[in-house]
Amino acid sequence: MKYSKLCEVYEKLESTSKGLEKTKILSEFLKEIENTPELIYLLQGKVFPDYDERESGISIQLAIKAISKATGIKEEIVIKEFKKLGDLGKAVEFLIEKKQQSTLFSQNLTTEKVMNNLRKLPELQGQGTVDNKVGLIVELLHSATPIEAKSIIRTVLSDMKVGVGSGLLRDSIVDFCLKPKNIEEKKQGAELVQTAYDITTDFAEVFEKTCKHKLQSIELSPGKPVKVMLFPKAKDIRDAFEIVGKPATFEFKYDGFRMMINKTNEGEIKIFTRRLDNVTNQFPDAVKYAKENINAKSFIIDCEAVGFNPKTKEYKPFQDISQRIKRKYDINILEKELPIELNIFDIIFYEGKSLIKTPFIERRKIIEKIIKQVPFKIKLAEQIITESEEEAEKFYERALEEGQEGLMVKNLQAPYKPGARVGYAVKLKPDANDFDLIITGAEYGTGKRAGWLTSFDVSCQDEGQLLEIGKVSTGLKEKPEQGLSFIDLTEKLKKLIIEEHGTHVLVKPEIVITVGYQNIQKSPSYSSGYALRFPRFKTLRPDRSKLDIATLDEIRNEAEKN
């Protein structure tokens, strides 16, 4: 397929903010790629499925270098246009329009050629890697029209600006493949497609199977990440019972981070976070505990990894051990200094069979049978089953006294719903007045804070869209040795800058933080319609992605309590 055809779709998508219009544009395009389903990745500015961790390794600086080489225009001029337009894609579009060299437009560019070149980027290693990567992009730009060049650069930087989230892709697949006749059929179709995607995290496979009416053939596969089941909040014990029913299971909610531990039929252990990141290498201790203490040939187990002090055996809060998630070096040292305990609370695949439709009470029996509990290595989540509010309250108090975050409350007959926040289970913790939110922009400081990003735009989510809800400027430290500092966060965010407007920058939405606040009020100043009063930075959440942040519904519910 000509790449120009896809670029026309990008232009149409960018020209409207209406979800229904975008869905129609997408579903019409799906007809063109029914026989090449992998091209669906390009609609989100990707070349691999969501679970695939490979990255292009192309920074804005390298993209600027590629544009300069392809056009023969000095890098300083490229940077100047970038700063003026705030979008490197628009900058290359303008520059190519202005200087149409004879070397440009040498041949018609195809989607296959774009995919092939961009898929080679993560494979390049060793001496000459930078030049070779730049060369692959230059090769594409030499054949690109101005609009194609804009899309290539945006794809390379994973910033398409066309507003295509997973919800819109799901709905377009439903419309094109299932052709629902009414709202009810569309709703049912969306649930089926969403479930399939949450299991596979691969839209190409979901698209292909939906069109062939083979969604039921999509199954869990150990060794491949799956989205974890998510839990909405309950107000109190009574509210929890009303949501999940009686009797219910009450489990400790641990202050750690989610791990999905996989064991394949070949005996290989793989560990994924709720972000779908493969952290097997970072946690050799967890691999060892799973191999030695879980008696099963194959499984996918859901658990919480909790840190503790190796000398005193006191449990540590999440932020004390979060550095292990991203660390690639000195793993053995961290393993000793920041040990973890695995608290197992669910299993969704066992001995070759999916358990997501198996009642929770039966899944619990399986982990009780196959887990050999060893203190400070691996154990079952502590739980009671009760229909008594009084007994549940006592268990809740005990959890808090022992330093846990609160409780998880679960329906005994509940299936496991990957990626969903449904009424099968809820979390219960004291009113902490905080949300997990994502940074979408920032402002440079002045005076002694000049050169640092010191005010951070934070957003919640609503049906795949990110909506601003405030600016956070307190809670960080002045000096790195005091804890997470403005300098630390500035270094992380500078790599993610996608637009600059004076002292304000927009960043790729990748960094999730926990934000405390006093209360919530309605506000026309932010796209969410709400504002956090006196927001304060509490901690980084490297284990979470934009799919895990607070929803607009959760914000609205908390606002109504004020």
Is residue 236 exposed (0-12), middle (13-18) or buried (19+ Cβ within 10 Å)?
A: middle
DSSP 55-117: -----HHHHHHHHHHHHT--HHHHHHHHHHHS-HHHHHHHHHHH---TTTT-S--BHHHHHHH
Distance between CA atoms of 283 and 253, rounded to whole angstroms? 21
**In this structure, what token pair is assigned to residue 484?**
């997470």
Q: Give the CA distances from residue 423 to residues 29, 170, 184, 232, 544, in Å, rounded to whole numbers and listed in that order.
A: 35, 22, 20, 8, 21
Q: Give the CA distances from residue 345 to residues 110, 373, 489, in Å, rounded to whole numbers and listed in that order.
A: 48, 13, 33
Nearest to 249 by CA among 400, 427, 444, 403: 427
CA pseudo-torsion sign 208, 210, 212, 215: positive
Would residue 125 be called left, alpha or beta, if left means φ above 0 and alpha means ψ between -120 and 50 degrees?
beta
Q: Give the CA distances from residue 383 to residues 40, 85, 361, 411, in Å, rounded to whole numbers and listed in that order.
A: 43, 56, 12, 13
Catalytic residue from among 253, 270, 379, 546: 253
Q: Give the CA distances from residue 111 to residues 45, 51, 148, 303, in Å, rounded to whole numbers and listed in that order.
A: 12, 22, 10, 41
Q: Which one-letter amino acid corresponds to residue 172?
A: S
Residue 36 CB neighbours (<10 A): 14
Place of tokens 């004020």: 562
Residue 12 is a catalytic residue: no
Residue spans of alpha helices (H) in 245-359: 284-293, 318-321, 323-326, 331-337
- Looking at the annotation, which residues are catalytic? 253
